[in-house]
């Protein structure tokens, strides 16, 4: 995600929403100010998370969400990195 997405509880909020949707993966800050989210699970749940990510938590100002297929990291649950 691009925009004002660091320092606004984006990762924690994304992890909470992903967990509610039964997804596994992680959210982490990138050095350039963006947040990266890798999520794996049911297609409908992934689509719902993608919609949520476009809005983010109340203090976030998301300007872009890029989505692409990725390998399942084999993790259980959804975590916060970095």
* Neighbouring-strand partners of residue 28: 36, 81
Catalytic residues: 11, 29
Q: Tokens representing 70? A: 């990725």
Q: Which one, of 74, 70, 30, 31, lies nearest residue 50 by Cα?
A: 70
Strands 24-29 and 78-81: parallel
- The backbone torsions φ and ψ at residue 77, rounded to the nearest 5 degrees and listed phi first, read 75, -175
């Amino acid at each position: 995600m691009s925009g004002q997405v660091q320092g606004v509880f984006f990762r924690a909020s994304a992890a909470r929403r992903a967990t509610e949707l039964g997804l596994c993966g992680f959210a982490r800050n990138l050095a350039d100010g963006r947040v990266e989210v890798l999520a794996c699970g049911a297609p409908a749940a992934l689509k719902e998370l993608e919609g949520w990510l476009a809005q983010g938590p109340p203090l976030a100002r998301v300007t872009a969400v890029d989505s692409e297929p990725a390998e399942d990291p084999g993790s259980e649950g959804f975590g916060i990195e970095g």
